Structure 1
Amino acid sequence: MINVRHFFRNIIVPGAFRIPKAVSVNGSIDASISGRIDGNVRGDVKTTGKLVVSENASIRGHIYATDLVVHGKVFGDVYISNKAHISNKAFVKGDVNAMVLEIEEGAVVEGAIRKNVQVVQKAETLAETAEREPSSTPAAIAPDEEEQSTSWF
Structure 2
Amino acid sequence: MINVQHLFRNLIRPGAFRIPKSVSVNGGIDATISGRIDGHVRGNVKTTGKLIISENASIKGHVYATDLVIYGKVFGDVYISNKAYVTTKAYVKGDVNAMILEIEEGAVVEGAIRKNIQAVQQSEEPVVALPVTESTHSSTAAIVPPPHPEEEQRSSWF
- The TM-score range, normalised by the shorter chain, is 0.7 to 0.9
- Give the TM-score normalised by the residue count of structure 1: 0.79
Q: CA deviation at 1:7?
A: 1.1
**Structure 1 or 2: more helix by fraction:** 1
Q: Deviations over 1:33-89 (max 9, x none)?
A: 000000000000000000000001000000000000000000000000000000001
**What is the count of residue pairs matched by the alignment?**
132
Secondary structure of 1:10's aligned partner: helix
CA radius of gyration, larger in: 2
Secondary structure of 1:7's aligned partner: helix
Residue matched to 1:151: 156
Residue matched to 1:41: 41
Q: CA deviation at 1:148?
A: 3.0
User: Which 5+ residue runs of structure 2 have no aligned equivalent?
Assistant: 125-147
- Distance in 2 (alpha carbons) for counterparts of 1:148 and 1:107: 14
1:57 corresponds to 2:57:
yes
- Distance in 1 (alpha carbons) for counterparts of 2:74 and 2:157: 20
Task: Confirm or deny: 8 A CA contact 1:10 1:69 kept in the other structure.
Answer: no
Secondary structure of 2:4's aligned partner: helix
User: Which 5+ residue runs of structure 1 have no aligned equivalent?
Assistant: 131-140
Aligned partner letter, 1:152: W
Of all paired residues, the percent bearing the same amino acid is 70
Q: Deviations over 1:3-39 (max 9, x none)?
A: x933113231431000000000000000010000000
Residue matched to 1:134: none
- Distance in 2 (alpha carbons) for counterparts of 1:71 and 1:148: 16
Report 1:47-126 matches (<5 A). 47-117=47-117, 119-120=118-119, 123=120, 126=121
- Distance in 2 (alpha carbons) for counterparts of 1:87 and 1:38: 15
